[in-house]
Copies of this chain bind each other. A is one copy, B any other.
């Protein structure tokens, strides 16, 4: 089974929407309703859901709970997402406190930093270890993904260290493209780039508006 990047992203989004719908007591939902919430089209929703194998009902749509179960199974997060976070600066700490109340699903099992002042203590419920202990700790943690909130200069070195430990997934906030082996997946979140995009299109839309007048 091979689903693209984009499809997986949308499926994750549908999962979130379905869990909201379930908690609201909704039992069935149509592709068109999901499409509106996800800002897509109904055809796209149906097509995306094909990859999970779940089939809806032509009259009632999708059973919310069943589809949610199916997606949870599809994402195979029986014990949720287990992660480590590297770099407990301002962004790292914001993420730690953000995920803390969601621990049952998104569990940051340990954080690491190179500054002694930040290590050896608990930040937002998470043990913060010295980066020297990375390899040792990872051995006992089993299969996890890594969240990189490091200065750009340190990111590549750390990525290499992580892949040497067998890490297969990295969520990278540093504005550099990491070079990793083919069997490692990297997702970049580049806030500055996103902001520039927004500014560019905002400019453009303002100009368009002016031209029309």
Contacts and interface: CB of A to CB of B under 8 A. Distances in A.
As for how many copies of this chain the complex holds, the number is: 2
B187 A5 contact: no
A81 B196 contact: yes
Interface string A78-108: 0001010000001101110110000000100
A199 interface: yes
A106 B9 CA distance: 29
A4 to B, nearest CB: 11
A114 interface: no
Contact of A9 (B9, B15, B197): B197
Interface string A172-188: 00010101000111110
Nearest to A91: B94
A202 B185 contact: yes
Given A13-B193, A90-B98, A98-B90, A169 B75 contact: no
Contact of A8 (B5, B145, B201): B201
B189 A169 contact: no
A80 to B, nearest CB: 9
A60 interface: no
Interface in A186-213: 186-187, 189-206, 208-209
B203 A76 contact: yes
